[in-house]
Each structure stands twice: as C-alpha cells, then as structure tokens.
Amino acid sequence: MTTLPNLRIDGDRLWDTIMETARIGATQKDGVRRLTLSEEDRRMRDWFRGACEAAGLTVTVDGLGNMFALRPGRDMSRAPLGFGSHLDTQPTGGKFDGILGTLAALEVVRTLNEACIETETPLCVCNWTNEEGSRFAPALMGSLAHVGDFTVEDILSRTDAEGVSVAQALDTIGYRGTQKVGAQPLSGFVELHIEQGPILEAEGKTIGVVEHGQGIIWYNGRITGFESHAGSTPMPLRRDALAALSEIVLAIEGLAIAHGPHAVGTVGEAVIATPSRNVIPGEIAFSGEFRSPDADTLETVHQGLQEKVAEIAARRRVTIALDVVWRKAPTHFAPAVINAVRGAADHLGLSHRPMVSGAGHDAFSLAALVPTAMIFVPCKDGVSHNELESAEKTDCVAGANVLLHAVLSLAGGPA
C-alpha cells in the first residue's frame, strides 16, 4: 500500500492518454485542431466522458456544454473541489494547451482509485466549454457563464464567422446539457496548464506557482473607407481602410511597448470585406487586444488607443467603430490554494517560482467565485497557440503530481 506522501500518478498512462487523444483533430504539422463545438470537439468530449465513466465518475453536462465528472467524498455535504481545464484548441493548436490540465485531472482520479483513496471532500473534474474564444468570442466562455459574467442567453446567441450560433453548434454535437449553468457547486478550483511563455524553461524551473493573471480587453473593430480604383485615384483623395488599420496595428504595438514590460497587445484578425488587388480597401473588420497584470496600465493603453483611433479616423476620413467585446480585470488567486500548490511542489522536491499568467485561463473565471490557483509547467521555447507546441514528459508528469498532492491537501486524504 503506497503511503500518501509517496503517492505518484502513472506518468506513462498520462503521456499515452495525451498522445492518444492528440489524434482527435490531428493536423498535418503535428498539431491539434479541435475548434470548440466542432465535430472534433464532440469526438474528444465523447472520449472524455467514456474515460471518466470508466474511472467511476458521474458525468453531467450543463446548458453550455460544460462537463463535470463527479467523484464522491466522505463528506457529501461539502461542495466538490474542482480541477481540470479545457479540451478545445486554437485552429493551429498543440497537444498540451488545456488538454494537459484536463487529462491530468483524470489521471489524478485514476491514481486515487488504484490507491483506494477516498477524499474527505468530493472531487469534480471539469472540462470548460470554449476556453479559447477563437471560433466564438469571448474566451473562457463556459467558465465565465458558470460564474455569471455572461448570461446563458447572451452566450447561446454568439455566432461564428459563418453565422452559426453557440446554441446551434451545441445542438449539432449533442452537448447542450440539461444541467442549469452555474448550478454545479464547487468549493475551490485548481488548474494545471503549460506556461505558454519562456520563463520556466529559461530559468530551469519545473513548476510555476501562479499567483495572479493579466487583465484582458478584447475589441471588435470595423473600418469604413471608400473603395475606388487603385490606379486612377490620386493619393490625397484615398480613404484606404487597410492603411488606417495598419496605423491601428502599430498604435496597439506602440502603446504596449511604451508601457512594457507589463503590457502586451496585438491585432489577431483582419478581414477585408471584398478584397481585390486593384481596389483600394473600403471595408475591414478586425479584432484587437491588450493585456496587463496592472489594472491602471490596462486603462491607460485603452484610453491611448481611443485617442489614436479618433485621430486616424479624422486624418484619413474613414469611420472607425471599436467595440469592447470583453474586459476582465487582473485576477488574484487565493493564498490557501497557492500555498497548497507550493507545498505540493516542495513535498515533491520540485524547483518552483511564483508566476503571473500571461495567457487567460478558466481559473481566472473561477477565481471570482471560489478559492483558486494554477500550476504551470514549461513548454518548449515557450511556444503555444502554434502547432509546434511541445512539452517534456517529465515536466507534464511533475505537474500532474503537484496537482495530485495539491488536490489531496485541499480535499483531505484518507481518514
């Protein structure tokens, strides 16, 4: 009988599970494309449900497809401790973003089963719908609705670039569950995730003890100029929407750099309405974002962008609509859960350092509702949201063991 301090997950089984499921939505470049609520997401959800049920968990699905896999505890009067992440990916995603945290949570349960360990508090493995926000905005969609940041009606009405709504997509894959959104009680939440940045690898550290996360502002923009002949329209008479957007892109970059290192920004999408090589672009839709761990910095760059956009619009005689479609203040995680993560890393003799999360995570949503924290492990060259995303097996196993012992610390091990 393995004593609790020496309990470890089955690293080979975790790694095999990650590699096996990476075949669902595998891309030619060895990445994973599992857009939320797509056929690939359905296949991955089906696999996940089957694996959870095979591990003795009771799986429920809420009205936005959030999946909860429940494991009883000795004291069923307590709300379950939540842990997990997301199974959807970016269009050119990798094998680990979100997937590591969700499959590691399953592995923790498999390990507890084999060790015949029942925790005091029940456990709840979570798969949150549409963490990525790529097909439907906002990101963290399922977990934000769970904590009440968005109404279910609002979320169900959001559409993708083809005009398909979240409601239609959920119905198509059969994951519009009956459980009321937000009804699943949780007493806390722990999320394991790859860092998606270069710090842990550069410092040779195995574990990131994540203490807080960046605030985020997402914009949808539309620029209306005037289509005209690319050859015969004199330069001073042009109202070029793409030239205006180019200035906005550089303005976002410039504001982030000017307020660095704790500000970042980019334009990730730009679509010319009717592209043609010999027509001056007259209509463009685009998205933009800023992030910062500091609320004041976020507000400063936001205001700076408003001023710059007004100046560009006037000078170029174009109309620019810039709408904030999502805004989340910086997240501060709970000391008790941070200490459980740090204590688990120390118990396992793993090098660790405190971190701020650059990327958004479902833990950011949950932190508004219950005590929450995150565990980071390195990824190769800090690369993520790219098919090259990669992580070392030893680091993934280390992170899953920290998750195991943090969960045992928070949920209470054997009587």
Rounded alpha-carbon distances, angstroms, from residue 151 to 40, 148, 158, 181, 240: 26, 6, 11, 9, 38
- 372's enclosing H/E stretch is strand 372-377
Q: Which residue is closest to ligand HGY by CB?
A: 360
CB of 372 to Mn ion, least distance (A): 15
Q: Give the residue with the Cβ less far from ligand HGY, 279 or 368.
A: 368
Binder among 40, 62, 97, 211 for Mn ion (CB under 5 A): 97
CA gap 333, 415 in Å, rounded? 28
Q: 74: helix, coil or strand?
A: coil
How many residues in the shown chain lie near ligand HGY by CB under 6 A?
6
Q: How far is the CB of 331 from ligand HGY (least distance, A)?
A: 12
Pick what 98 binds: Mn ion, ligand HGY, none; C-beta below 5 to 8 Å, kind-dependent.
Mn ion
Q: Which of 112, 139, 244, 264 binds ligand HGY (CB under 6 A)?
A: 139
In sequence order, what are the residues at sequence separation of 6 or more whose Cβ sits closer than 8 angstroms to the Cβ of residue 109?
52, 55, 56, 57, 69, 71, 123, 125
Nearer Cβ to ligand HGY (100/404):
100
Question: Can you tell me the distance from the alpha carbon of 224 to that of 352, in angstroms, rounded to the nearest whole number?
Answer: 50
- Given ligand HGY, Mn ion, none, residue 360, with its beta carbon under 5 to 8 Å by kind, binds ligand HGY
Burial status of residue 400 (CB atoms within 10 A of its CB: 0-12, 13-18, 19 or more): buried
Residue with tokens 């906002």: 138
**208 pairs with which residues across the strands?**
353, 376
Asked whether position 360 contacts ligand HGY by CB under 6 A, the answer is: yes
| Residue 32 C-beta: closest distance to Mn ion, Å | 11
End-to-end CA distance of the chain: 15
Q: Contacting Mn ion (CB under 5 A), which of 98, 122, 133, 142?
A: 98
Minimal distance, residue 132 CB to Mn ion, in Å: 5
For residue 310, the surrounding DSSP H or E stretch is helix 295-316
- Amino acid identity for residue 138 in this structure: P
Which string of x and - marks every residue 237-276 that binds ligand HGY (by CB under 6 A)? Answer: ----------------------------------------
**CA angle, 264 then 270 then 273, to 5°:** 160
Q: Rounded to whole angstroms, what are the CA distances from 25 to 22, 29, 33, 91, 372?
A: 7, 11, 5, 10, 30
Q: Which does 133 bind (CB under 5 to 8 A by kind): ligand HGY, Mn ion, none?
A: ligand HGY
With CB under 6 A as the contact rule, the residue among 103, 359, 369, 379 that binds ligand HGY is 359
Distance CA 331, CA 110 (A): 31
Q: How far is the CB of 108 from ligand HGY (least distance, A)?
A: 23
Q: Which is nearer to Mn ion, 97 or 149 (CB)?
A: 97
- What is the rounded CA–CA span in Å between residue 104 and residue 114? 15
Q: How many C-beta atoms lie closer than 10 Å to residue 240's C-beta? A: 23
Q: Which residues contact 123 (CB under 8 A, 6 or more apart)?
A: 70, 71, 73, 80, 81, 83, 109, 112, 407, 411
Output 107 or 132, the one with its CB closest to Mn ion: 132
Q: Considering only CA atoms, which of 313, 263, 314 is closest in space to residue 289?
A: 263
Dihedral angle sign, alpha carbons of residues 153, 154, 155, 158: positive
Site map (CB under 6 A) of ligand HGY, residues 95-134, x = contact: ------------------------------------xxx-
**Binding site partner of 40, from Mn ion, ligand HGY, none, Cβ cut-off 5-8 A by kind:** none
Choose from ligand HGY, Mn ion, none: what does 400 bind? Cβ within 5-8 Å by kind. Answer: none
- As measured in angstroms, the least distance from the Cβ of 358 to ligand HGY is 8
- 160 contacts which partner out of ligand HGY, Mn ion, none, CB within 5 to 8 A by kind? none
Tokens 């449900």 found at: 49
For the CB of residue 231, give the shortest distance to ligand HGY in the complex, in Å: 41
Window 186-225: contact mask with ligand HGY (x via CB under 6 A) = ----------------------------------------
Q: Minimum Å distance from CB 382 to ligand HGY?
A: 14
Shortest distance, CB of residue 139 to ligand HGY, whole angstroms? 4
- Residue 46 CB, nearest distance to ligand HGY (Å)? 23
Instruction: List contacts with Mn ion (CB under 5 A).
Output: 97-98
Instruction: List contacts with ligand HGY (CB under 6 A).
Output: 131-133, 139, 359-360
